Amino acid sequence: MALIVRIDVDRPYGKQGWARHVASRVSSDYYLPRMEWLRYLSELKTILGILNANGRSAYVFFRKCSYPSAEVRELMAAGKHQFGLHLENSRSEEMFREELEALERELGFRVTAFSKHGSGRRRWGRYHFAPYEPERYLPWARQAGLKFFFGNQEDPRLGPVEGGGLVYFPSAFWLEPQWRDTTKFPINWLLREAAERDVVMLLHADNVTSNPEILREFRMVVERLESVILPVAAEAAAGMTAVG
Ligand SMILES: [Zn+2]
């Protein structure tokens, strides 16, 4: 029983510092060439480094504006992390397929998991379709051969639901306290629960590295709890390669 680490990569340049903040915003809406000099995905690299040092593996979900660089891919391989889609334009099944296939083309292999950008409260940029409608994504995802969907509800007591070859985790323990009832679900709750069953812990790398208290809690959690990468059923895996 362990931690399922979920990282949503929202901002390619984080949000600290004017130039990086602006670059994050602009690249979310328009094509911008990757700027290593603005420390592309630097916060994600820090988080992957900590996970790798502790032998923990994560699911990492990428948007079009935050596709992994060669350096990030190396860290991902070293830590046996899983790549997934951070779904942005969920307006229709066609849009969903387009985003999934674009990521798979970029990576050169199929992915098994996805998560959704935003919880329906706000629109985050030009391509973002704000409504959060998990029940619509499930049939699309099954049709596309995906195996895991990580949802955005904020009650970490909700366990996974399985159906049609897809496992749906409706909720997560949000590491950043602004999306968590910290009275009901303090860090100690996570330490206790993840020792008993698999619990999804969601984080955004730049929110963690920019806050010393959250970073301290993140380090403590990954030192103390094992992580798990969920197995894909054998027949499902065979089906996937056939499609590929
Ligand atoms: Zn997001």
Q: From the CA of 18, how far away is ligand 1's center (Å)?
A: 20
Verdict on whether the full-model pTM lies above 0.85: yes
Q: From the CA of 118, how far away is ligand 1's center (Å)?
A: 5
The CB-side HSE value for 136 (13 A sphere, CA atoms) comes to 13
Starting at the edge strand that comes first in sequence, how are the strands of the sheet with 199-203 ordered? 161-163, 166-171, 148-153, 113-116, 82-87, 58-62, 3-9, 199-203, 173-174
Q: From the CA of 238, how far away is ligand 1's center (Å)?
A: 31
Q: From the CA of 116, how far away is ligand 1's center (Å)?
A: 7
User: Domain containing 109: what range?
Assistant: 3-243
Q: 65 in helix, strand or coil?
A: helix
- Find out whether 45 and 74 touch, Cβ atoms under 8 Å: no
Joined tokens for residue 91: 């307006």
CATH number of the domain enclosing 221 = 3.20.20
Q: What is the pLDDT along the chain (244 residues), one digit of tens a residue?
A: 899 999 999 999 998 899 999 999 999 998 888 999 999 999 999 999 999 999 999 999 999 999 999 999 999 999 999 999 999 999 999 999 999 999 999 999 999 999 999 998 888 888 889 999 999 999 999 999 999 999 999 999 999 999 999 999 999 999 999 999 999 999 999 999 999 999 999 999 999 999 999 999 999 999 999 999 999 875 555 544 444 3
Joined tokens for residue 111: 């992915």
Q: From the CA of 217, how far away is ligand 1's center (Å)?
A: 21
Q: From the CA of 162, how far away is ligand 1's center (Å)?
A: 24
Q: From the CA of 11, how far away is ligand 1's center (Å)?
A: 8
- Find out whether 47 and 217 touch, Cβ atoms under 8 Å: no
DSSP annotation of 68: P
Q: From the CA of 9, how far away is ligand 1's center (Å)?
A: 7
Q: From the CA of 169, how far away is ligand 1's center (Å)?
A: 16
Q: From the CA of 60, how far away is ligand 1's center (Å)?
A: 11
- Number of domains comprising the chain: 1
